[in-house]
Chain A
């Protein structure tokens, strides 16, 4: 069974979004996504300052099995990236919601997060 924390929002493409009180947000991939990918070997993230549209490809996550695109769940500007993933991409497998975070975004429209799935709906999607 996948771990689906209830305080996060989820995209159908398996990214999670955590909206902070100050209107910024953190992005990563779900436990289901890391488990499906298997051993993660490489993560490619955008430069700080990149402006992302909702649904835009922001990077690539690669496992022994395959490389998969990462999609911005909402629109925003990249404030920070998790550079530690470069040397330790396996953190995505062990801690997808904590040490495996990928981006911090300044949201273009903080209300856009509500267009994403809540935990219960995401769990339903996973079946």
Chain B
């Protein structure tokens, strides 16, 4: 096995009792104390996540906006400096290469955040697609560390460390400023369904920033939170995870992300023809979210059975919702079966899947 990548916070995590695991080739904290407790801390107060494994890419040049609007399905032309956009990036087939955040930093200057496990694939894809455009693509993944402060008290905690007026930074917007004296791109975004900030900063400053956020946050109920809680929080919020709800074979329309596919944005984009056809003809499958009323976790790849016991799909993600105290998940099922009674067999026990429109719990996001 090749050596795992380490974020600048690897030793910080170890010193705080983290259980470190291989995640997408990175040695990352899956938990510190307890996944369930860390999850609840984020919903109750705040959590601090190291997500420095994520990739960052600068897209600059006179055609940067035009290129990105061709690259992704959402409408990049709607951005203005300081605005962030979530979007899938598709293959011509309509399948998903990755999902990402595009931040417009200034005219002809965009900043893209991509999934850790997809960095090499995405960069190759982005560079290949960019050749007809007047843009420069720069991989900045090694330069940046990324800390996410998430939860209802996140704003109060970050505000205690910065002179930037966070009250003026709306959801899916960024500002530049110093946090604990460290220069950051302060982004009011996250992957938990809570209000919160993602702080992009120079890799060399990561330990100092993490220490400062932890010191300011701990008296306010902030806890260190690992990737285990990050996954259960995102699933409870109903957010997709690449490789589960969206893949090369599951389009954003199938995944229920139609709001991110702007077929009529007035510009062609990769995958548009396939997505237009999918919309017109109707998809074969759809992603649904379910709860079970039982504590047994319905794990990914579990077959989903329809009314007469035939297999109509498979589970994509499953966990125990720490707030609902029952197992929740997502599944890919045939559109025809999605209106039927759906069942899974867990070690001989049949559990009914009760379909839910996420989020599974009430969320209090940032001021819009």
Instruction: Kindly state whether residue A31 has any CB partner on chain B within 8 Å.
Output: no
Determine if A89 and B35 form an interchain contact, defined as CB atoms under 8 angstroms apart.
Answer: no
The residue from B34, B37, B297 contacting A42, defined by CB atoms under 8 A apart: B297
If A38-B228, A41-B320, A44-B347 touch, whether A64 touches B296 (CB-CB below 8 Å) is no
What residues on A are CB-neighbors of B218 within 8 Å?
A: none
Closest to A93 in B: B34
What residues on A are CB-neighbors of B232 within 8 Å?
A: 64
Q: Within residues 26 to 83 of chain A, which ones have a CB less than 8 A from any CB in chain B? A: 38-39, 41-42, 44, 60, 62, 64-65, 67
Chain A interface size, under 10 / 10 to 19 / 20 to 34 / 35 or more:
10 to 19
Binary flags per residue of B17-32, CB closer than 8 Å to A gives 1, else 0: 0010000000000010
Instruction: Kindly state whether residue A15 has any CB partner on chain B within 8 Å.
Output: no
Instruction: Kindly state whether residue B36 has any CB partner on chain A within 8 Å.
Output: yes
Instruction: Kindly state whether residue B319 has any CB partner on chain A within 8 Å.
Output: yes
Q: Within residues 219 to 272 of chain B, which ones have a CB less than 8 A from any CB in chain A? A: 228, 232
What residues on B are CB-neighbors of A89 within 8 Å?
A: 295
If A44-B347, A67-B347 touch, whether A62 touches B34 (CB-CB below 8 Å) is no
Q: Within residues 10 to 56 of chain B, which ones have a CB less than 8 A from any CB in chain A? A: 19, 31, 34-37
Determine if B347 and A64 form an interchain contact, defined as CB atoms under 8 angstroms apart.
Answer: no
What residues on B are CB-neighbors of A90 within 8 Å?
A: 36
What residues on A are CB-neighbors of B34 within 8 Å?
A: 38-39, 93
Chain B interface size, under 10 / 10 to 19 / 20 to 34 / 35 or more:
10 to 19
Determine if B35 and A62 form an interchain contact, defined as CB atoms under 8 angstroms apart.
Answer: no
> In the complex, A90 Cα to B295 Cα: how many Å?
12
If A38-B228, A41-B320, A44-B347 touch, whether A64 touches B295 (CB-CB below 8 Å) is no
Binary flags per residue of B297-338, CB closer than 8 Å to A gives 1, else 0: 101000000000000000000011000000000000000000
Determine if B296 and A62 form an interchain contact, defined as CB atoms under 8 angstroms apart.
Answer: yes
Determine if B295 and A38 form an interchain contact, defined as CB atoms under 8 angstroms apart.
Answer: no
Binary flags per residue of B341-354, CB closer than 8 Å to A gives 1, else 0: 00000010000000
Determine if A38 and B297 form an interchain contact, defined as CB atoms under 8 angstroms apart.
Answer: no
Min Cβ gap B290→A in Å is 17
Min Cβ gap B295→A in Å is 5
> In the complex, A89 Cα to B228 Cα: how many Å?
18
Q: Quick one: which of A39, A42, A67 has the most chain B CB within 10 A?
A: A39
What residues on A are CB-neighbors of B228 within 8 Å?
A: 38, 64-65
What residues on B are CB-neighbors of A62 within 8 Å?
A: 295-297
Q: Quick one: which of B31, B36, B232, B299 has the most chain A CB within 10 A?
A: B36
> In the complex, A90 Cα to B228 Cα: how many Å?
17
Binary flags per residue of B185-215, CB closer than 8 Å to A gives 1, else 0: 0000000000000000000000000000000
> In the complex, A81 Cα to B296 Cα: how many Å?
19
Q: Within residues 283 to 297 of chain B, which ones have a CB less than 8 A from any CB in chain A? A: 295-297
Min Cβ gap B292→A in Å is 11
Determine if A39 and B295 form an interchain contact, defined as CB atoms under 8 angstroms apart.
Answer: no
> In the complex, A39 Cα to B36 Cα: how many Å?
7
Determine if A41 and B297 form an interchain contact, defined as CB atoms under 8 angstroms apart.
Answer: yes
Show the binding face of A for B, using Cβ within 8 Å. 38-39, 41-42, 44, 60, 62, 64-65, 67, 89-90, 93
Known contacts A62-B296, A67-B297, then 15 further A-B pairs from the complex at CB < 8 Å, ordered by chain A residue: A39-B31, A39-B34, A39-B37, A42-B296, A42-B320, A44-B347, A62-B297, A64-B35, A64-B36, A64-B228, A64-B319, A64-B320, A65-B228, A67-B347, A93-B34
What are 27 inter-chain pairs, A to B, with CB distance below 8 A?
A38-B31, A38-B35, A38-B228, A39-B35, A39-B36, A41-B36, A41-B295, A41-B297, A41-B320, A42-B295, A42-B296, A42-B297, A42-B320, A62-B295, A62-B297, A64-B35, A64-B36, A64-B228, A64-B232, A64-B297, A64-B319, A65-B228, A67-B297, A67-B299, A67-B347, A89-B295, A93-B34
